[in-house]
Amino acid sequence: QMEMQESGPGLAKPSETLSLTCTVSGGSINTRSYYWGWIRQPPGKGLEWIGNYYFGGSTDYNPSLMGRVTISADTSKNQLSLSLNYVTDTDTATYYCVRAKGCYVEYLGVVTLSACHMDVWGKGTPVIVSS
């Protein structure tokens, strides 16, 4: 059974770079069948998609993060990483790593492989941004 475990500093200062790691066990992240991503949830609020990583290094990010985010993977360690630059208090949230099933999505007549429903979630790691 696959498990995902987030880790990283629970506290970051404004304008710093937040770095989180997700260690995956029970299966390899080096697969064409799944995407790997990050979701966050501010205290008492809803879920926000941050971005996805796919086999070979392709990525897709939420434009709302304005180029501050990078998702990468170390396949030798079976780990996924998140880097978020220039954090502010609005980045305070619980951060979840997720596995998303790869599936074919059709739009305007074009079919592409895409990240679909998220079937495995880590327990989440809380991050507070404060000086």
Q: Name the maximum alpha-carbon separation found in the chain.
A: 49
d(CA 37, CA 54): 9
Of 85 and 94, which CB lies nearer to another protein in the complex structure?
94
Smallest distance, Å, CB 99 to another protein? 10
Q: Given the complex with another protein, which of 56 and 110 has the nearer CB atom?
A: 110
Closest CB to another protein among residues 59, 85? 59
Q: How far is the CB of 33 from another protein (least distance, A)?
A: 15
Please enumerate in sequence order all residues whose Cβ is within 8 A of that of 88, keeping only pairs 6 or more positions apart, or say none: 14, 15, 129
We find the least distance from the C-beta atom of residue 106 to another protein, in angstroms, to be 6
Question: Under 8 Å CB-to-CB from 60, ≥6 apart: which residues?
Answer: 51, 52, 54, 115
Binding interface with another protein (CB under 8 A): 39, 46-49, 60, 62-64, 96, 100-101, 105-107, 114-119, 121-124
Q: Which residues pair with 114 in a beta bridge?
A: 103
Residue (55 or 121) nearer to another protein, CB: 121
